[in-house]
Amino acid sequence: MTGFKNFILRGNLIDLAVAVILGTAFTAVVTAFTGMLMSAIARITGGKEPNFDTFAPGDVLVGPFITALVAFLILAAVVYFFVVTPYVRAKEKFFPSPEPGTPEDVRLLQEIRDLLANRPQV
């Protein structure tokens, strides 16, 4: 029972549960945005929403794949431009990357190594 208690309280499980819940909620937002974008495309083109489900060149039904691919590309663009890009900017603003170069502890160890190598031999 202790192993199960440690597993539950470790924190990774809670983080994963929160991620799933937020991901599910975010899915509804992105789906609504995708629908709005598809209706805007329909209005611009003067027809109905783009739907390739019946597209079957040479009697090979590729339409559902094309529709899913277009929806995926729209979803990927929304996630990248509205989630990933702002997250990277905020992360860099509040948690800047360390300056390039040798870390202080490594530099100190290198100095000690060099001092030991240059001391006179007895």
User: pLDDT (tens digit, 9 = 90+) per residue, 25-57?
Assistant: 888 887 888 778 878 877 887 777 667 778 788
Query: Does an H or E element contain 71, and which?
Result: helix 63-79
What's the pLDDT at 50?
67
In three-state secondary structure terms, 51 is coil
Mean pLDDT over each residue of the chain, to the nearest integer: 82
**Residues 34 and 75 sit within 8 Å (Cβ to Cβ):** yes
pLDDT tens profile 67-105: 888 878 887 888 888 888 998 899 888 888 877 877 888
Share of the chain above pLDDT 70, in %: 92
* Location of structure tokens 């929304």: 78
**Residue 24 confidence (pLDDT):** 87
Nearest to 38 by CA among 24, 23, 56, 52: 52
